[in-house]
Amino acid sequence: MKNLFKLLFLGLFVFTLLLFSCKKQKKMNTTKNPLLEEIYDTPGGVPPFDKIKLSDYLPAFKQAIKLHNQEIDKIINNPDEPSFKNTIVALDQSGAILSNVSNIFFNLNEAATSPQMQKIAQQVSPLLSEHSDRIYMNPKLFARVKAVYDKRGQLHLSEQDSMLLQKTYEAFARNGALLPEDKKKELMDINKQLSVLSLKFGEHVLAEINRYKLVIDNKKDLAGLPPSLIQAAAEMANKTGDSGKWVFTIQKPMLIPFLTYSKRRDLREQIFKAYITQGDHNDSLDNKAIVNQIVNLRLKKARLLGYKTWADFRLVDRMAKTPQNVYDLLNQVWAKALPAAKKEAERLQQMIYAQGDTFKLQPWDWWYYSEKVRQSEYNLDENELRPYFKLENVLEKGVFYTANRLYGLTFRKADDIPVYNPDVVAYRVYQGNDSLMAILYYDFYPRQSKRSGAWTTVFRGEYYKNGKRIPPVVSIVCNFTKPTKDMPSLLTLEEVRTLFHETGHALHEILTNVPYRSLSGTNVALDFVELPSQIMEEWAVSPEVMKVYARNYKTGEIIPQQLIDKIENAKYFNQGFATVEYMAAAYLDMDWHTITQEKKYDVNAFEKAAMDKIGLIPQIVVRYRSTYFQHAFSGGYSAGYYVYLWADVLVQDAFDYFRQNGLFNPEIAAKFRHLLESGGAVDPMKLYIQFRGRKPSVEPLLRARGFIK
């Protein structure tokens, strides 16, 4: 009986515990998801990174989609006649919470991913694709948009209102609103497939980067490598379980210095080939089949929408307008760049022979022997420069100084703002000392959860709500060498340019002052978006600015004029290689996206034919081969990698204007600021002509690269 009472008591206790647990769980389930806010209750209204859990994302996406659908239904069911305000503006203002959730998740999936996040991405990408399609292919919603568009001539709209109306209508048309129902379903299926394939492509590249390591266990094999790189390799070895050895990866901050300084030619070849064969090993991470699927699906989509090729579809709303215009620019510059690259190859071959070697120059030799030539002919050693490029100095005394001189911005470190990784640093950006313009994050260092490269993105773009400007939340992500216990992060000259470049994108977001979210910041033509970033690189290498930020990290000594002169004298050095390597990728991207036939392509054969057609010399490999060309196949630059060259035409022409009248001329800076403030609210060529007083010329670019006198 005692045992029976014990069992009954125990059963009652367990039941009570379960009941309490269920009530508690029910209460917990009603806790508000921290992602579901338009403006977050945090300092600066930034995402609450310290509160977000992985389990929050999927419910947040589903709820945000539901909320957006309710907003769309409200627009459709509005009994009033369609107007600019109740239809076009209402559409622009809708989906703010979904935009926030998407920005947070996909930005972190790039910068701080995990297998769980990648799995969530594979689940939500088709949902988002389907959600977008249902909006753009909704006949009732499009009828309202078209009703406003058809009477646009009678509405007396402002320039930016007209631009919003134009872009809204075109977005519907370009996303299938004009298609019959059966074709809409076909387009939706294509979009779903493309969203998943693009994700897989990027995941494969990241996995390839993370699985390769060059392990060195003999100190003699480190010959020629700078101490900072050796130390970084030792620390990498500790992380990979190879303590006591040195581990090198194919992340660019390790790869390029290794190729530049390692005396072990066989090891240079090994690591270089590991880099250029990413996604091309006929295994689970191979990307060739994905490339095939993507280019064929894109062609099918373009044809559904009435375009001959994917490039025709993509270029219609850019400055270039047509594939032929892109090829015309590429061909014009290629005709000057290729002969320069050939001369450089001959000079490197001479250096090889001069050192008593007899082998022919190979791609993995280029960095090593070009550094030899630079030291020999210009007496300029990259390692001589790096002590003057301490990351913190370049940022605060270079980037921030330039932004302040040009636009009156000040940057204050914000330790109270939540960040998504301990390496991330947050700043409040002010106009002068009082008006908050933006929150800006910098995420500087490589990690296994971050993709390679450097990029700028937003967690929230600028817009107006109830007449008040909502400041943007901007993020800059890089992959610079991480400081060690004995050495700060010292940048190469190219990395200095990268930091200025990405901050140029950020300034485009920070300074934007337009009321509409879809026109703010970098929501501009893709071949215009690189102008604000690339022009900042010109200030980075200007002696006037360099003398402010370039200080020896040990002594505080300002960079000597002798080194500045060396940099200036060597500015045309290796420009043939840099231009040809990049342009080869731009040609490859265009060739993939001007195909007119759906079929199974031999990816490597297609690539070889593309390079043979332009006469790429064997000593140079295209910057991005197809199987790891993320710009083209998992980023937003398909049929668009050419934009860096197009933008540099604008950049060199624009910077000539500053150069001739003063690098910080307040009148010219104010005109350039207007260009940045306008976002996508004004036609980009009109903006450029307003700034410069005429259309751009290609000659300054050819001069800047040393191709013409």
The full set of domains in the chain, from first to last, is 43-136+138-174 (1.20.1050.40), 212-276 (no CATH), 387-569+643-704 (1.10.1370.40)
Give me the residues paired with residue 428 across strands: 412, 439
pLDDT reported for residue 531: 97
pLDDT tens digit string along 263-287?
999 999 999 999 999 999 999 999 9
Of 208, 462, 502, 677, which is the active-site residue? 502
Contacts of 9 (CB under 8 A, 6+ apart): none
Structure tokens at 139: 């006949």
Q: How far apart are CA 628 and CA 186, in angstroms?
A: 28
Contacts 24+ apart (CB under 8 A), 79-85: 81/147, 82/143, 82/144, 82/145, 82/147, 82/148, 83/148, 84/148, 84/155, 84/157, 84/161, 84/165
Percent of the chain with pLDDT over 70: 96
> Taking Cα atoms as reference points, which of 530, 643, 661, 636 lies closest to residue 585?
643
> Is pLDDT at 14 greater than 60 in this prediction?
no
The verdict on pTM exceeding 0.75 is yes
Report residue 469: phi and psi, to 5°. -75, 125
**Mean pLDDT, residues 362-375 taken together:** 96
pLDDT reported for residue 432: 87
Q: How far apart are CA 305 and CA 316, in angstroms?
A: 12
44 compared with 19, residue with greater pLDDT: 44
> Is pLDDT at 29 greater than 70 in this prediction?
no
Contacts 24+ apart (CB under 8 A), 268-274: 268/364, 268/365, 268/368, 269/362, 269/364, 270/214, 271/214, 271/364, 272/363, 272/364, 273/364, 274/212, 274/214, 274/250
Residue 354 CB coordination number (10 Å): 10
> Is pLDDT at 2 greater than 50 in this prediction?
no
**Mean pLDDT, residues 403-432 taken together:** 97
Handedness of CA 271, 273, 277, 282 (dihedral sign): negative
Q: How far apart are CA 704 and CA 698, in angstroms?
A: 10
Give the residue ranges of DSSP H helices in 466-574.
493-511, 531-540, 543-549, 561-569
What's the pLDDT band for 13 if we cut at 50, 70, 90? Answer: very low
Q: How far apart are CA 433 and CA 316, in angstroms?
A: 42
Report residue 437: phi and psi, to 5°. -100, -35
| Beta carbons of 104 and 35 less than 8 angstroms apart | yes
**Mean pLDDT, residues 385-398 taken together:** 97
> Is pLDDT at 1 greater than 50 in this prediction?
no
Please spell the DSSP secondary structure of 18-52, one letter per residue. HHHHHHHHHHHHTSPPTT--SS-SSGGG---TTT-
> Is pLDDT at 44 greater than 80 in this prediction?
yes
Q: How far apart are the first and last CA of the chain?
A: 106
Contacts of 29 (CB under 8 A, 6+ apart): none
Angstrom distances, CA of residue 546 to CA of 402, 497, 558, 571: 10, 11, 9, 15
> Taking Cα atoms as reference points, which of 501, 509, 571 lies closest to residue 531?
501
pLDDT reported for residue 555: 96
| Beta carbons of 694 and 177 less than 8 angstroms apart | no
**Mean pLDDT, residues 66-85 taken together:** 98
pLDDT tens digit string along 224-239?
999 989 999 999 999 9
pLDDT reported for residue 24: 39
**Mean pLDDT, residues 529-547 taken together:** 97
pLDDT reported for residue 709: 85
- Using the structure block, give the residue that is written with the tokens 């292919």: 137
**Mean pLDDT, residues 694-698 taken together:** 94
User: E strands along 201-295, which residues?
Assistant: 214-216, 246-248
Angstrom distances, CA of residue 598 to CA of 179, 184, 192, 287, 303: 21, 20, 19, 18, 11
| Beta carbons of 476 and 458 less than 8 angstroms apart | no
Contacts of 152 (CB under 8 A, 6+ apart): 162, 165
Give me the residues paired with residue 390 across strands: 490
pLDDT reported for residue 11: 42
Give kind and range of the element (H or E) at residue 257.
helix 252-261
What's the pLDDT band for 583 if we cut at 50, 70, 90? Answer: very high
**Mean pLDDT, residues 673-698 taken together:** 96
pLDDT tens digit string along 135-168?
999 999 999 999 999 999 999 999 999 999 999 9
Size (the chain), residues: 709
Contacts of 317 (CB under 8 A, 6+ apart): 170, 174, 525
* Triad 127, 128, 130: Cα angle to 5°: 65
Q: How far apart are CA 450 and CA 137, in angstroms?
A: 35
pLDDT reported for residue 452: 86
Mean pLDDT over each residue of the chain, to the nearest integer: 94
Radius of gyration of the chain (CA): 27
pLDDT tens digit string along 482-535?
998 889 999 999 999 999 999 999 999 999 999 999 999 999 999 999 999 999
| Beta carbons of 659 and 343 less than 8 angstroms apart | no
Q: How far apart are CA 158 and CA 552, in angstroms?
A: 52
568 tagged catalytic: no
> Taking Cα atoms as reference points, which of 54, 56, 53, 100 lies closest to residue 459?
100
User: In angstroms, how far is CA 540 from the centroid of its own chain?
Assistant: 20
Q: How far apart are CA 622 and CA 604, in angstroms?
A: 12
Q: How far apart are CA 341 and CA 331, in angstroms?
A: 15
